[in-house]
């Protein structure tokens, strides 16, 4: 049986939307090649400037951003786009009024891992252009995640994999490393991905433990208590510092990822950007039978109030997400579970 390639798979979908995905996939193939040659091409290290959040992007960030922008500008169906690397909307020079879609993308997620040679990725989301006939503006992007018509990510690891959904399940395409065409040859390697309902694996940045809110304190403490604790089973903890890598692990074997609200910087509602990171991943998770929440409500229901609006993110295996949400509904939940008698990083002082 001949393998199914992305081009063949897209032929069963609306032509305009298929064209958008085709252009994004082409950009991801170029980024994959650039990432594999980053050290040889002098793309390691900071770019010497600051991004929209005041951070110093990697040199490879700029290359990735240019790859996606060039691909989208060549697509007749894209009216405009927003990159995580820029503060404002880019209106397509040729198709700003006629394009039917808007694209949001994070060109290089996990960029701090580049020099460590740990998996990085690109995230994208496709929204309808509700004001078609007029140039895309920031207001056009202020849509809840449920209005996405497509979302996905590419992970650049031992192999490059494009994970995407056009509203009917989640599918994985692997880039053929022996094909050197501009657009790349993407082969379907896993169809109709389903995230296991239950899991014994979670991912969280434990260095922020002292800043977590009580529901998260309780959840993590109970997981770490293992078989002798209230959960009655052992859990494993993971943390890669790359949303794409964390999500890909969940799609391949289950798990739950938490980047919750905390009181480290109380004026910030969360750390991940709704449009660029949270909404696309939430869309994919729900398409694969998993769940995604801010802790207090579904991520896909949230409407951004700015292009770089940040939110708390909890996503993955449905049973665990629902448990964490239930703990948020009970603010008096016990968070003083002593894991190691009197000595533990996870002991919350009694009020």
Task: For residue range 33-54, list pLDDT tens digits in order.
Answer: 999 988 887 777 765 555 555 5
Percentage of the chain lying above the pLDDT 70 cut = 90
Q: Which ranges of 167-242 would DSSP assign to H, the alpha helix?
A: 214-224
| Average pLDDT rounded to a whole number, residues 26-33 | 97
**Assigned domain for 205 exists:** yes
> Which pLDDT band holds residue 250 (cuts at 50, 70, 90)?
very high
pLDDT of the residue at 348: 44
What's the start-to-end Cα distance of the chain, in Å?
A: 65
Q: Is 38 helix (H, G, I), strand (E, B) or coil?
A: coil
Q: What is the DSSP string of 46-67?
A: B-SS--TTS---BHHHHHHHHH
Report the distance separating Cα 328 and Cα 340, nearest Å. Answer: 25
Read off φ and ψ for residue 322, nearest 5 degrees.
Answer: -65, -35
Shared domain for 178 and 205, answered yes or no, is no
Q: What is the DSSP letter of 272?
A: E
Given a cut of 50, whether residue 340 has pLDDT beyond it is no
Going by C-alpha positions, the residue among 4, 37, 242, 36 that lies closest to residue 159 is: 36
pLDDT of the residue at 347: 42
Read off φ and ψ for residue 252, nearest 5 degrees.
Answer: -90, -30
Contacts of residue 179, defined as CB under 8 A and 6 or more positions apart, other chains included, come to 185
**Assigned domain for 212 exists:** yes
Residue 207 C-alpha from the chain's centroid: 21
Report the distance separating Cα 300 and Cα 315, nearest Å. Answer: 11
pLDDT of the residue at 330: 86
Given a cut of 70, whether residue 336 has pLDDT beyond it is no
Shared domain for 149 and 100, answered yes or no, is yes
Domain carrying residue 173? 6-190
Shared domain for 145 and 116, answered yes or no, is yes
| Average pLDDT rounded to a whole number, residues 78-106 | 96
Number of domains in the chain: 2
Given a cut of 80, whether residue 55 has pLDDT beyond it is no
| Average pLDDT rounded to a whole number, residues 132-158 | 96
Shared domain for 268 and 288, answered yes or no, is yes
């Amino acid at each position: 049986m001949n393998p199914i390639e992305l081009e063949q798979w897209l032929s069963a979908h609306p032509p305009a939307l298929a064209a958008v995905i085709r252009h994004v996939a082409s950009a991801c193939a170029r980024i994959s090649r650039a990432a594999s040659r980053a050290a040889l091409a002098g793309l390691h290290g900071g770019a010497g400037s600051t991004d929209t959040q005041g951070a110093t992007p990697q040199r490879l960030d700029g290359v990735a951003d240019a790859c996606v922008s060039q691909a989208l500008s060549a697509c007749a169906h894209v009216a405009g786009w927003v990159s995580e690397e820029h503060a404002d909307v880019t209106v397509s020079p040729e198709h700003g009024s006629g394009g039917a879609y808007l694209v949001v993308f994070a060109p290089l997620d996990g960029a701090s891992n580049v020099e460590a040679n740990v998996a990085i990725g690109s995230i994208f989301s496709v929204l309808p252009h509700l004001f078609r006939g007029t140039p895309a503006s920031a207001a056009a992007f202020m849509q809840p995640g449920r209005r996405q018509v497509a979302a996905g990510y590419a992970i650049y690891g031992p192999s490059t994999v494009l994970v995407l959904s056009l509203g009917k399940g989640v599918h994985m395409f692997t880039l053929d490393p022996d094909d050197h065409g501009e657009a790349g040859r993407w082969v379907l390697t896993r169809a109709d991905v389903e995230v296991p309902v239950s899991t014994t694996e979670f991912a969280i940045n434990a260095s922020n433990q002292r800043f977590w809110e009580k529901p998260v304190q309780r959840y993590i403490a109970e997981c770490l208590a293992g078989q002798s604790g209230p959960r009655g089973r052992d859990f494993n903890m993971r943390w890669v510092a790359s949303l794409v890598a964390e999500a890909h692990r969940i799609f391949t074997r289950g798990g739950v990822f938490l980047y919750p609200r905390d009181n480290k910087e109380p004026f910030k509602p969360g750390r991940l950007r709704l449009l660029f990171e949270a909404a696309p991943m939430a869309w994919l998770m729900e398409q694969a039978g998993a769940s995604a929440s801010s802790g207090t409500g579904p991520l896909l229901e949230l409407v951004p109030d700015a292009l770089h609006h940040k939110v708390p993110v909890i996503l993955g295996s449905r049973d665990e997400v629902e448990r964490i949400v239930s703990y948020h509904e009970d603010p008096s939940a016990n968070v003083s579970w002593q894991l190691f008698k009197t000595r533990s990083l996870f002991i919350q002082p009694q009020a």
